[in-house]
Structure 1
């Protein structure tokens, strides 16, 4: 990456050079950064960061970060993921579907490198000890909230998922010091979730946030499980950010299962049996 930056350095604007110097000096920090945090650190605007990425030949910051992760993988002797292809109008369907999987693999590989095992363990300990567990998410995160609640029923007490802002506000008013709330948001800026998280914390509950660091939701949390992933909004772009969020949630559930008391095994068996009885026999 330093060689690539050196090749274009003379063509960069003064503001872009500030970004270049920061990326070259701290590749690891760049991999964990966002466009906003990198812009603040370099003292430039967010569009300047994007222009710098394009000056290097990347579509945007997400692709720059993936390139840094691939370079890091090569340095560690591990196989880098296949570079994701941009899905464009007119691309054959078979090729486009392959690109979706390439993007998923690349995004999950990059996310794996930022996962903080210690943060996951702190969150898991809080969930296992809780007398009541609430899982909150809105919009696309609502599906993840439901999934995590189902997973945590076997290992935690009083688990419920809520994806309605009013229901979250009402629940926050009933929480206490034995309650834990797991809040889900890719951006950390969902107004309703942030407000409910603040109200839950004020009631004495432990708030776990699976979200972007340096966000309003992260600031409201007792424990942060940092999840930095660029959410692509182009019409044809694969939504790999959702896969990353689900993988982080899965990591939390597995950690909870490892810490859960032996009774969780029997509870899980009863839950499995209850579902099986509702399926049509083959």
Structure 2
């Protein structure tokens, strides 16, 4: 796309060439910014940006953004939310941050970790899912998914309940721990108790962390958070995605009994006819 813009440079008006130069120098400005943002950066009017797009044979600014995205072969970059970020650009910056985090996770993903973790959940007679803060919401979401295909699934966010539950586990149970830092003392202690009780400790957390060290199985997720501004907690998104991967893998491995249980659940939700 940039080659096409460069070759058309001689046929553009002086104002359109300003837009072309901006897009070539900073394609992210067009891919993540608004029409008004690009016009302001190029020092031209919004209609000029639209005319530039049409000079390339495109319908408008939206087509330019899609064309740039389709032909972009660079490593994914994103605009961070800064203190002076215009509100009109916040949505694009937040989406860019989320997309970049998930793309980095995909690049570092070892598919074998899901292969090792899913069978443990299928075999388990009880699945305890633990997390604090934002991870508590992820734990609840994953419990909702695994409830349909696993046995004895419950999510807990209270450290006292986690510790007491850990003491009641056995070798047929799985304690699934979710943590961004892997340093939450209460969660690490509960995981240790579960491990001592003979349970399998499956953790979705940062590799090399205290929680990772006490785990039987590890799904490594290493995401950097920006704590200076009100930016999205991308670790939560990464954990949700890995939770989905676990749930799908478990569903694929589930025996016929799990399908029968799911059918009974669906039947229980149907409105009952009254005589």
Structure-2-length-normalised TM-score: 0.69
Structure 2: how far apart are the matches of 1:166 and 1:116? 33
- Unpaired runs of 5+ residues, structure 2, are 1-70
1:263 match = 257
SS, match of residue 230 in structure 1:
coil
Distance in 2 between residues matched to 1:241 and 1:159, nearest whole Å: 23
Deviation at 1:263, TM superposition (A): 2.8
Between the aligned partners of 1:253 and 1:80, the Cα distance in structure 2 is 32
Question: What's the counterpart of residue 192 of structure 1?
Answer: 186
CA contact (8 A) 1:124 1:252 kept: yes
Q: For structure 1, which segment, 106-115 or 259-268, has the greater mean C-alpha deviation from structure 2 after superposition? A: 259-268
* Residue 158 (structure 1) aligns with: 152
Q: d(CA) in 1 for partners of 2:271 and 2:224?
A: 41
Residue 253 of structure 1 is aligned with which of 247, 254, 264?
A: 247
Give the drift of 1:277. Answer: 5.4
Give the superposition deviation at 1:89: 2.9
1:142 matched to which residue of 2? 136
Offset of residue 270 of structure 1: 4.0
1:238 Cα deviation after fit: 2.8
- Aligned counterpart for 1:118 among listed residues 112, 137, 149: 112
> Residue 124 of structure 1: SS of its match in structure 2?
helix
The superposition leaves residues 164-190 of structure 1 with CA deviations (integer Å, 9 ceiling, x where unpaired) of 000001001111111111000111101
Aligned to 1:12: none
CA contact (8 A) 2:80 2:94 kept: no
Q: Is the 8 A contact 2:81 2:229 kept in 1?
A: no
Change (3 A) 1:94 1:82: farther
Could you tell me how far apart the structure 2 residues matched to 1:108 and 1:233 are?
18
The alignment partner of 2:177 has SS state of strand
How many pairs were matched up? 202
Residues 90-117 of structure 1, C-alpha deviation per residue, up to 9 Å, x if partnerless?
A: 4322211111111111110110112221
Segments of 5+ residues of structure 1 without an aligned counterpart are 1-76
Cα displacement (A) at 1:266: 3.5
> 2:218, 2:271 → 1: CA distance?
38
Q: Is the 8 A contact 1:136 1:142 kept in 2?
A: yes
CA distance in 2, matches of 1:79, 1:246: 27
Judging changes above 3 Å, is the alpha-carbon distance between structure 1 residues 91 and 78 closer, same or farther for their aligned structure 2 residues? Answer: closer
* Superposed CA offset, 1:50-104 (max 9, x none): xxxxxxxxxxxxxxxxxxxxxxxxxxx9945642112223432221111111111
Mapping for residues 62-73 of structure 1, pairs under 5 Å: none
Question: 169, 173, 179: which one pairs with 2:163?
Answer: 169
Q: Is 2:226 the counterpart of 1:232?
A: yes
**2:92 matches 1:98:** yes
Deviations 1:139-162 (A, max 9, x none): 110011111111111111111111
Distance 1:252 1:96, change over 3 A: same
Q: CA deviation at 1:240?
A: 1.7
Cα distance change of structure 1 residues 84 and 274 upon mapping to structure 2, 3 Å threshold = farther
State the distance in 1 between where 2:88 and 2:242 align: 29
Question: What's 1:129 paired with?
Answer: 123
Inter-partner Cα distance in structure 1 for 2:268 and 2:251: 20
